[in-house]
Structure 1
Amino acid sequence: MKKVYSLIFLLLFTGAAFAQKQGIEQAYVDRLIKTLSADDMQGRKTFEPSSEKAADFIAKEFKAIGLKTLPGLSGYKQTFTVNRIKPGTPEVKINDQAVDPGKVFIITDQPGLQWQKSGGAAIDVVSIGAQDSYSQKMGELMKAHKNTLVLINPAHQDIFTKYRNYFGKGNTSLASTAAEQGSLVVVLHETAEPASYQVKVTNQVQTSQISNVVGIIPGKKQKDEKVVFSAHYDHIGILKPVDGDSIANGADDDASGTTAVITLAKHFKKQKAPARSLIFVAFTAEEIGGYGSQYFSKQLDPEKVVAMFNIEMIGKPSKFGKNTAWITGYEKSDFGKILQKNLDGTQFTFHADPYPDQDLFYRSDNATLARLGVPAHSISTDEIDIDKRYHSVDDEYDSLDIANMTQVIRAIAQSASSIVAGKDTPSRVNAAALR
């Protein structure tokens, strides 16, 4: 019996010491997430005033903490320009036969297109046959950034319709990369190799400015090496009312991650100066394509980024129970093993992503830097396979477990300690192996 009491005492003491050592207060966490997920934030949708309101709040917190601004910026907002494309009605002919506009969608950042088989811009023609993987082929074409006419076999009509419903609403692109982007004209058509084709469309282009929020703690001994702590502060705004509620508050997605980033900034600012420089960033526009992280990544030398802790939905306990979290792409570097080593002697454990079929490594802001070789991983606790509150009006503050969330943040702080101190360097991600 004495052994049992001793074990209980050890566990309780270890947990208390863990919390005390980190100096991360639950009341502070609670205040931040309650503010970010409040109704007056109106769901923090990109391009809406509510998004700007959230950015202002985060910047104010960074200033209160005493973070430095990025070199070249006058404040904490990293503002950049995007083009928002509202597509016109496409006019497409294949072998001189007009195609129903309902069987066409276009992915472009150009104000207009005018293609034909003879002359003009160099256009590739690619067919996706009945036996081909539609998603794989489209993914490859979207990454290739070439002007391409894509002919889809009608066997793929269902998934074609889903893509058309999404891209038919328009798309967004970084204005700074407009010259790098190719256009895809995607047509549901049996012909695989047309003798002739014509494409004509005129689009409306609206230029908008949006902002990441970024603060830094400069390093000392290895100041040119960067460790990034990130989350996205945007969400999806106002939805169709459900029982009188229309605000998708995004408490877990991802006010929880943004709260963690601010809290970690405060924690590390109170410590002695880190060996490596620490960057704390709240991304915009994750929900509409990850444009905030795309722009951010272009401002850094990826070879100088040692690790990225991207924090995505930590507001509720994971499937593994309290005091646990999981890491996307666990097998792609030794990032997770280093984090767990730094938690030896605590009750907290990190696990590999239990939802590989959900493709989560590629669905958050870590993916942009990971594709550049950075050991960039997302940390989460969400039970995404059964989370009925995800992207709904029910993702509210009162659905969260703030105590467990605070423990997750404490664990991230301690697990990062050897990387921040310059003692451990995670292995690089094999970017060539990523899709």
Structure 2
Amino acid sequence: MRKLVPIVAVLAAACSPEAGSDEADATVDVPQLSEARLKEMTQTLSSDEFEGRAPMTPGETKTIEYLAQQMEAAGLQPGNDGSWFQEVPLVEMSVDEDSADIELSGEGLEETTLAYGDDQVIWTKRIQPNVGVQNSELVFVGYGIVAPERGWNDYEGIDMAGKTAVILVNDPDWETEELEGDFNGRAMTYYGRWTYKYEEAARQGAAAALIIHDTEPAAYGWATVESSWSGPQIDMDREDGGSERVAIEGWLQKDAAEMILGASDQSLDELTERAQSGELTPMPLGVSMTASLENDIRRGMSNNVIGILPGSERPDEYVLYTAHWDHLGRCAPGEEDEICNGAFDNATGTAGLVELGRAHAEAGPADRSLIFLAVTAEESGLLGSAYYAENPVYPLSQTVGGLNMDGLNVYGQTRDVVVIGAGKSELEGYLEEAVLAQDRRIDVESSPEKGYYYRSDHFSLAKKGVPMLYAEGGVDLVEGGSERGQQLADDYTENRYHLAGDEYDADWNWDGAVEDLQLNFRIGRELANSEEWPNWNEGDEFRAVREESRQAAGSQ
């Protein structure tokens, strides 16, 4: 689900000096990975034949069978008790778009319709054929955050039962330049993610929750909202049927939100400023919403694909590589090109996963076991990795750490490497050594407000305590520099991210992808031949759960 990281501006190599070792440096023979195989796998996975690789479709069947064949040919072994696959129970719900308009009523509005697609996109996580709200009062709740440890409560003093929360995207201090503030300054916290906002609205007892879309703090345009949240929506097939979620979740076009607020004699800019200051209390808008959804429900199984290279000395200790194989499937029904092929996102990363498996297999077994996990349903909310984290094939307490790949650099070699969520774990020490060996530098991401850390599969494992590294080539191109890198980053974001234009390009330059994969090979190999157990840094939110899991493993 990631986009190219924009130009980095500040040099910051956050790392642990204890991580890595000179001895490991000397023993790692970094291979020359095959550009030809990367191209072939990426082109195959992103071809129209694979139909955009949506879970629970014929495209999935072709994808997972192809990946199992490629992993076997690479020299890996089936990773789930003799099988290449881990079943992941999912449910798909398709909204009847003709049923999905929102009817508003209130002073200054009379009766106003917000059209599905143009003005709003709504859905439900409740696994029911018919879901709706009737005359639900809209309440503006700022950023929709309840954070007692930060002295912040956007819902203070209001009973949200039966009401609809209208919420700003991101968190309050995303526009600041520094990385310090109530919500880590410019760096997004989990409170800024749309997933959190819907979850919190449900905890507050709301009937519905609508997030106001704004391109810069959301980090994508309205076209991405339409393509990502319309059409069939996939979720975990939960035992409670999604009953704990609000009845209706969705996005509001910014113009539609301004119209609603204007009818209440309110200004979105002024309310946003007050919400950022923490002075705003929940504000009923004098407008009510009626909406109903008719859903076609289909249950089924998707699959994670798992390969393993067993360790020779400590096979019950594991180093993990992850990438998601899925994409959006058919994303623009009725258009001339309706397939979202997902070539960059994430056929490239999946190809890289298999090629790393081949490189490790050719190098021979490491001391620890190496796991290669291609997960499903990342684009639907990190569902495949979340399922693995809840139902691990290999104990997470025995998983040393991991590396995630979500889109490879196909624009040429870069002088920089960017750490997503820098400063979190001791794995960054291993990265620093590998980067120095390539005569490159480590830079921080220049747009931490966009929350890339929470938008790919490493996050599912991190929440369970497993140290996970998410690093990739930056955009300071060896040929073209930062200006050219910025142009390419912007072009991808605006014209191809989660759109039908994300297709394989024979003119891509794979030198950067190969170089970045060599970094990941080296780091994984050092971890696998080491006896160290890298931890999260002191003060990190995931350190406590990691230490608890390791202590539990030691007591068994």
TM-score normalised per structure 2: 0.60
User: In the aligned structure 2, how far is the partner of 1:167 from the partner of 1:397?
Assistant: 26
**Corresponding residue for 2:324?**
232
Aligned match for 1:28, one of 37, 41, 45: 37
Query: What do the CA deviations read for 1:356-410 (whole angstroms, capped 9, x no partner)?
Result: 1321111111111122222223233375444244334253232421233222212
**Corresponding residue for 1:4?**
none
**Corresponding residue for 2:68?**
59
Any conservation in 1 of the 2:376–2:384 contact (CA below 8 Å)? yes
Q: CA deviation at 1:223?
A: 2.7
User: In the aligned structure 2, how far is the partner of 1:156 from the partner of 1:176?
Assistant: 28
Q: Is 1:303 equivalent to 2:303 in the alignment?
A: no
Q: CA deviation at 1:416?
A: 2.5
CA shift in 2, pair 1:249/1:81, >3 Å: same
**Corresponding residue for 1:362?**
454
User: In the aligned structure 2, how far is the partner of 1:58 from the partner of 1:23?
Assistant: 22
Q: Please list every run of 5 or more consecutive structure 2 residues that lacks an aligned counterpart in the other structure.
A: 1-25, 106-110, 115-119, 135-158, 172-190, 250-256, 265-282, 476-488, 545-556
**Corresponding residue for 2:437?**
345
Higher relative contact order (CA 8 A, sep 6+): 2
**Corresponding residue for 1:79?**
87
CA shift in 2, pair 1:324/1:127, >3 Å: same
User: In the aligned structure 2, how far is the partner of 1:206 from the partner of 1:278?
Assistant: 35
Structure 1 window deviating more from structure 2 (27-36 vs 341-350): it is 341-350
Any conservation in 2 of the 1:107–1:167 contact (CA below 8 Å)? no
Q: CA deviation at 1:81?
A: 1.6
Query: What do the CA deviations read for 1:32-54 (whole angstroms, capped 9, x no partner)?
Result: 22322334333323333223212
Q: CA deviation at 1:149?
A: 1.7
User: In the aligned structure 1, how far is the partner of 2:238 from the partner of 2:332?
Assistant: 34
Any conservation in 2 of the 1:29–1:259 contact (CA below 8 Å)? yes
Any conservation in 2 of the 1:126–1:150 contact (CA below 8 Å)? yes
Question: Map of 1:282-293 to 2, 5 A cutoff?
Answer: 282-293=374-385
Identity of aligned pairs, percent? Answer: 20
CA shift in 2, pair 1:58/1:164, >3 Å: closer
**Corresponding residue for 2:468?**
376
Q: Which SS does the other structure have where 2:79 is aligned?
A: coil
Question: Map of 1:114-263 to 2, 5 A cutoff?
Answer: 125=161, 133=168, 135=170, 139-144=195-200, 146=203, 148-150=205-207, 171-176=233-238, 178=240, 182-185=244-247, 192=284, 203-238=295-330, 240=332, 246-263=338-355
**Corresponding residue for 2:526?**
418
User: In the aligned structure 1, how far is the partner of 2:334 from the partner of 2:319?
Assistant: 41
Any conservation in 2 of the 1:108–1:182 contact (CA below 8 Å)? no
Any conservation in 2 of the 1:92–1:200 contact (CA below 8 Å)? no
Q: Which SS does the other structure have where 2:65 is aligned?
A: helix
- The one-letter code matched in structure 2 to 1:279 is I
Q: CA deviation at 1:235?
A: 2.1
Any conservation in 2 of the 1:37–1:397 contact (CA below 8 Å)? no
Any conservation in 1 of the 2:416–2:474 contact (CA below 8 Å)? no
**Corresponding residue for 1:390?**
497
Q: CA deviation at 1:307?
A: 1.5
Any conservation in 2 of the 1:418–1:424 contact (CA below 8 Å)? no
User: In the aligned structure 1, how far is the partner of 2:38 from the partner of 2:530?
Assistant: 27
Structure 1 window deviating more from structure 2 (199-208 vs 23-32): it is 199-208
CA shift in 2, pair 1:151/1:234, >3 Å: closer
CA shift in 2, pair 1:182/1:330, >3 Å: same
**Corresponding residue for 1:119?**
none
Structure 1 window deviating more from structure 2 (51-60 vs 77-86): it is 77-86
User: In the aligned structure 2, how far is the partner of 1:213 from the partner of 1:49?
Assistant: 16
**Corresponding residue for 2:77?**
68
Q: Which SS does the other structure have where 2:466 is aligned?
A: coil
- The one-letter code matched in structure 1 to 2:51 is Q
**Corresponding residue for 2:49?**
40
CA shift in 2, pair 1:100/1:176, >3 Å: same
Q: Which SS does the other structure have where 2:353 is aligned?
A: helix
- The one-letter code matched in structure 1 to 2:439 is Q
Any conservation in 2 of the 1:125–1:151 contact (CA below 8 Å)? no
RMSD (Å), alpha carbons: 4.5
**Corresponding residue for 1:5?**
none
Q: CA deviation at 1:92?
A: 11
Q: Which SS does the other structure have where 1:22 is aligned?
A: coil
Structure 1 window deviating more from structure 2 (357-366 vs 258-267): it is 357-366
TM-score normalised per structure 1: 0.75
User: In the aligned structure 1, how far is the partner of 2:514 from the partner of 2:104?
Assistant: 58
Q: Which SS does the other structure have where 1:425 is aligned?
A: coil
Q: How many residues align?
A: 405
Any conservation in 2 of the 1:19–1:410 contact (CA below 8 Å)? no
CA shift in 2, pair 1:170/1:405, >3 Å: closer
User: In the aligned structure 1, how far is the partner of 2:230 from the partner of 2:441?
Assistant: 44
User: In the aligned structure 1, how far is the partner of 2:396 from the partner of 2:530?
Assistant: 17
User: In the aligned structure 1, how far is the partner of 2:169 from the partner of 2:502?
Assistant: 33
Query: What do the CA deviations read for 1:35-93 (whole angstroms, capped 9, x no partner)?
Result: 22334333323333223212211100112233222344x42122222112345769999
